[in-house]
Amino acid sequence: MTRLALGGAALAACLAVAAQRPDTTNYEEAKVPKYTLPDPLAMRNGERVRDAKTWTTRRRPEILEIYRSEVFGRSPAAPAKLDFEVASVDKAALGGKAVRKQVTVWFAGRNGGPKMDILIYLPAGAKKPAPLFLGLGFLGNDSVSLDPGVKLGEEWAPDPATRKMVKRANAETARGAAAQRWQLDMILARGYGLATINYADIEPDFDGGMPYGIRPLFFRPGQTQPAPDDWAAIGAWAWGLSRAMDYLETDRDIDAKHVAVFGHSRLGKTALWAGAQDTRFAMVISNESGEGGAAISRRNFGERTADLNARFPHWFCANFKKYSGREEEMPFDAHMLLALIAPRPLYVASAEGDQWSDPRGEFLAAVAASPVWALFGKRGIGTDQMPGNRQPIQHAVAYHIREGKHDVTTYDWEQYLKFAGAQWKSK
């Protein structure tokens, strides 16, 4: 794991995880015990969902409520003082290939309070509003490309002397550090825009990071800690994506009806939760989101609920803690999180070298969610045979696995662009 892959806070957390990873982790398919998934089409009162309307008006809200109370916690609505400041527009960025905008989203008014910075690139010379990929990144927006016009960001990292997490301005030398993961040129060449935000702008990613993020802004008088079903860090990051969408809807250069929300790993879990709650996201892409994301929790393979709760106690709401080692008691599983995206296009992607994320568990969740797309006359995965490397299945629910490690690669982006092109062809 290098600085290319993760920001300081995420990197520190990851190294800690690598050191502590238990030797009880199962990586043998033959040793996965049998399990029974909750039926996404069986309502709490025992009635069966047989049509799209019953799904949308009755079953979907039931599942959303389960995810709110038991998994990610409840998120507040947009704050009244939400304000967008278009800080800069360059119509000839990247040597004339792109329009670049840098927008500051002020969460509590333009007063120096909490804020996040959105970096937006749109194809230059577009004749109509551009469809766009929106994603949180582990690093500052200056990591997306070598473009010298992007404001340097700030990141949290452990202070070498005190080991405490501190926020620091990025150095010019870090510019472009995550460029491989964003494939900006390819995205623009296909006629899409890209918008990114450093997730640490919303809340820094470490246990104890909450006071430095936006959650305290919403505390009730006297409250200092989240309630058991209050949002946690993933909820906060997902909420930030929705606030970015609030801005995108105001920008006439952007086709806000065609915004795909994308995320990798913990930010893939975040993209799924953002897409589940906010139906303005027209497409959801989960890149190796793993446990607590697209992977079936009941499968004893790779990372488990107890691992998440022990190492990243700030990611999920306090109610989620009770499921450590008790996955069979969950009134939900990952296929139900995926089903909340229906009937919008969903892409689940895995990597062979990322067994910790349980690629087969990610595939099986996409399979088990597919009957919900069928209610809308859309084709889901359509097979329970897991495809081999680089054999993508791309219907309204898509899946691929590729060789290589836990990462976002050119191959992954090629698939997402192909998928968006096919799913949005009627646009």
User: Which residues contact ligand GTR by CB under 6 A?
Assistant: 14, 17, 265-266, 290-291, 303
Q: Are 234 and 270 in contact (CB under 8 A)?
A: yes
Residue (258 or 264) nearer to ligand GTR, CB: 264
Q: Are 284 and 263 in contact (CB under 8 A)?
A: no
Residue (17 or 43) nearer to ligand GTR, CB: 17
Phi, psi torsion values for 203, nearest 5 degrees: -160, 130
Q: What's the CA gap between 99 and 188, in Å, rounded?
A: 10
Angle at 346 between CA 344 and CA 348, to 5 degrees: 170
Rounded least distance, CB 373 to ligand GTR, Å:
26
Residue (352 or 384) nearer to ligand GTR, CB: 352
Q: Burial code of 143-167, b = ≥16 C-beta within 10 A, e = fewer? A: bbbebeebeebbbbbbeeeeeebee
Q: What's the CA gap between 363 and 386, in Å, rounded?
A: 7
Residue (14 or 306) nearer to ligand GTR, CB: 14
Q: How far is CA 391 from CA 347, 362, 400, 401, 415, in A?
A: 14, 15, 6, 7, 10
Rounded least distance, CB 386 to ligand GTR, Å:
21
Rounded least distance, CB 269 to ligand GTR, Å:
6
Q: How far is CA 396 from CA 262, 389, 399, in A?
A: 16, 20, 10
Residue (105 or 284) nearer to ligand GTR, CB: 284
Catalytic residue (one of 145, 265, 289, 350): 265
Residue (147 or 407) nearer to ligand GTR, CB: 407
Nearest residue to 401 via CA among 411, 388, 413, 416: 388
Rounded least distance, CB 293 to ligand GTR, Å:
7
Q: Are 6 and 158 in contact (CB under 8 A)?
A: no
Does residue 406 carry a catalytic annotation? yes
Does residue 286 carry a catalytic annotation? no
Catalytic residue (one of 258, 264, 335, 406): 406
Rounded least distance, CB 98 to ligand GTR, Å:
28
The answer to whether the Cα torsion of 59, 307, 318, 74 is positive or negative is negative
35: Cβ–Cβ under 8 A, 6 or more apart, which residues?
296, 298, 299, 327, 328
Burial environment of residue 416 by CB neighbours within 10 A (0 to 12, 13 to 18, 19 or more): buried
Q: What's the CA gap between 180 and 201, in Å, rounded?
A: 22
Rounded least distance, CB 290 to ligand GTR, Å:
5
Which residues are known catalytic residues? 265, 406
